[in-house]
Amino acid sequence: MTNLLDAESHFAFGENWQSFARLLDDRRILEAENGMRRLFPEGELRGARFLDIGCGSGLSSLAAARLGAAEIEAIDIDANSVAATQQTLAKYAPSCPRRVGMRSVFDCERERGGRFDVVYSWGVLHHTGDMWRAIRIAATMVKPRGYLAIAIYRKTPLCGFWTQEKAFYTKAPKPAQAVIRGIYKSVLALREWRHGRTLSALIREYHSSRGMDWSHDVHDWLGGYPYESASAESIRSFLGGLGLDVIREFSEPPGNGITGSGCDEFVALRRAA
């Protein structure tokens, strides 16, 4: 039986993020800052100790540094992601104190007491193989009156299908992956056409989404395994039971899930001790 907690069973996220990191420029970095400012509009990052769980390309850590974080700790289970984050921060935020290392969120379970003003994990904890445990551990890393920011795939009627697709795509040879990407892009093009839009327009405008790249995100979506999802209500309830109150939420109705599930975003404040 496949062990979903084993990194070997996961999609090669780091390879994808390392490729994306080569595309970083001032425009993408600015968009990433805007996305981070949307989550923390009141300057909460200034002077903060910031933990980035699943650091990927390092772009989110960089955005936090640019917005005044005093110290960055970035972790990922993929060596390519760790290397990409080290390179990104060294190039664009060389003076920000930082620690970047290859660790799992589950490695943090041994630690006691919250150490960070902000714990951030965007679109990561649902790929760990044990999402609810991962959220709980991330929450324990937050100081009293500190913040947890997470993005989690929303539950749709087709999440079962996407789980199977991602498991297949992760193990498929690259030519087969290319065929699946082609089919998926055709479905997206049809969706855009039905709404009087074009796929090329979607791709041109995509950079405004946190500074990300459309092609890399398509690959990430189709291969994002392990995969779990949750309703916004269940996330709010779970965080409340962990002593955190959601103070900002960016969520949408689940939809039918034909082209994907999308993420709901939550910023939660830990209650005072």
Residue 5 reports pLDDT greater than 60: no
In this prediction, residue 123 carries a pLDDT of 94
Q: Does 144 map to a domain?
A: yes
Q: 100, 86 in Cβ contact below 8 A?
A: yes
In this prediction, residue 114 carries a pLDDT of 80
212-245 in b/e burial notation, b at 16+ Cβ within 10 A? bbbbbbbbbbbbbbbbbbbebeebbebbeebbbe
Confidence tier at 74 by pLDDT (50, 70, 90) = very high
Q: Does 232 map to a domain?
A: yes
Q: Does 168 map to a domain?
A: no
Question: By residue range, what is the domain housing residue 250?
Answer: 7-156+225-270
Over range 154-171, report the average pLDDT. 96
Q: Does 213 map to a domain?
A: no
Distance CA 153, CA 163 (A): 12
Confidence tier at 1 by pLDDT (50, 70, 90) = very low
- Between vectors from CA 251 to CA 245 and to CA 255, what angle results, nearest 5°? 140
- Between vectors from CA 48 to CA 46 and to CA 54, what angle results, nearest 5°? 115
Q: Does 204 map to a domain?
A: no
For 225-247, what is each residue's pLDDT tens digit? 999 999 999 999 999 999 999 99
Residue 111 reports pLDDT greater than 80: no
Distance CA 35, CA 55 (A): 15
Q: Does 170 map to a domain?
A: no
Indicate the number of domains in the chain.
1
Q: Does 143 map to a domain?
A: yes
CATH number of the domain encompassing residue 39: 3.40.50.150
Does pTM surpass 0.85?
yes
Q: 72, 50 in Cβ contact below 8 A?
A: yes
Q: Does 109 map to a domain?
A: yes
Q: What share of the chain has pLDDT > 90, as a percent? A: 76
For 190-218, what is each residue's pLDDT tens digit? 999 998 998 888 887 765 556 678 888 89
For the beta carbon of residue 67, count every other beta carbon within 10 angstroms. Answer: 18
To which residue do tokens 């913040």 refer?
Answer: 147
